[in-house]
Amino acid sequence: MNALSLRNLRKTYSNGFQALKGIDLDVEAGDFFALLGPNGAGKSTTIGIISSLINETSGSVSIFGHDLRQDRAKAKSCIGLVPQEVNFNQFETVKNILLNQAGYYGTPRKLALQRTEQCLKQMDLWDKRDTVSRRLSGGMKRRVMIARAMVHAPKLLILDEPTAGVDIEIRRSMWQMMREVNAQGTTIILTTHYLEEAESLCRNIAIINHGQIVEHSDMASLLARLHVDHFVLDLARPLQTTLAIEGYQIEQVGDKTLTVGVPKELGLNQLFNRLSEKNIEVISLKNKTNRLEQLFMDLIEAGPGGRDR
């Protein structure tokens, strides 16, 4: 069963801007799905329509088989939303924020208290339950929003840039929490500008640009389409002459630093053999860009419908 189905979804704002130009999208139940795109591509509009914050111009949204227009209450009951911006009442305590949200979903008080405790403990916020939310750090506020979105046990959790602006340590711990939530059976749709995050967490991906889906596939086959990996090599000694190795795109960026484009059919072993033959010693190697980032840029630059990477 699909957790989410969008059919010919269109949105034209009152100023005439066409944010969505008829997108179709399916997300399977249990998936960890990435919805990516540059700023202004239509991600937030799509999420806004799915979560009823924006009215669509035409098209349909179905959540776990419930049409968002015809069967609104059931469709909405399935969703938990973590928005980009902090949007809870900053004068409310952490516990009350969750209890109120549970109440909006019709959760009886006793169960709401249990779920609140469970979610706050899962997000490592139980000690902060009586703290007024404006006194929390940025990372804690993000976790409050995740806990709030989960308090009614949604089947579909939508995370709109949940780790934006948080430090790497908190981001990593949030990744772990998201993996656990997904492992417990919750479908997750993630939008993020950190493509490393999407590559690390998500199994399937859609890329949206100019209001159209330009890519929709599983992460592994998308990454497999990348023909050339780019690496940065640090050398033990400065190069005396310009280096050229057939089949590889080599660029010298410093006395002892090279960037190398490595075609998949040639691989790294052959490169190292050729470097050894030339008595060039490599002391470290790292990816120049995240693989997904490279594909993302290719797709965006190719424009709508373009796949000419």
Partner 1 sequence: MNNSIAFKTIVVKEIYRFVRIWPQTLLPPAITTALYFLIFGKLIGDRIGTVSGASYMDYIVPGIILMSVISHAYANVVSSFYSTKFQHNIEELLVAPVPNWVILGGYVGGGIARGLLVGVVVALISLIFSDIAVHNLAITLAIAVLTATVFSLAGFINAVFADSFDDISIIPNFVLTPLNYLGGVFYSVAMLPDVWQKISLANPILYMINAFRYGLIGVSDVDITLAFAITSGFILVMTLFSLFLLHKGIGIKN
Site residues for partner 1 per CB under 8 A: 13, 48, 51-55, 72-77, 79, 81, 83, 85, 87-90, 96, 99-101, 103-109, 148, 152
Between residues 108 and 304, which has the closer beta carbon with respect to partner 1? 108
Is residue 47 within 8 A of residue 158, CB to CB? The reply is yes
Is residue 36 within 8 A of residue 82, CB to CB? The reply is no
Amino acid in position 217: S
Between residues 125 and 157, which has the closer beta carbon with respect to partner 1? 157
**Minimum distance from residue 100 beta carbon to partner 1 (Å):** 6
Question: How far apart (Å, rounded) are the C-alpha atoms in residues 140 and 137?
Answer: 5
Between residues 107 and 294, which has the closer beta carbon with respect to partner 1? 107
Question: How far apart (Å, rounded) are the C-alpha atoms in residues 29 and 211?
Answer: 24
**Minimum distance from residue 17 beta carbon to partner 1 (Å):** 11
Q: Considering only CA atoms, which of 16, 34, 38, 14 is closest in space to residue 25? A: 34
**Minimum distance from residue 142 beta carbon to partner 1 (Å):** 15
SS3 state at 239: coil
Between residues 57 and 290, which has the closer beta carbon with respect to partner 1? 57
- 228-235 and 257-263 beta bridge pairing: antiparallel
What radius of gyration do the chain's Cα atoms show?
23
**Minimum distance from residue 48 beta carbon to partner 1 (Å):** 6
**Minimum distance from residue 3 beta carbon to partner 1 (Å):** 16
Between residues 76 and 216, which has the closer beta carbon with respect to partner 1? 76
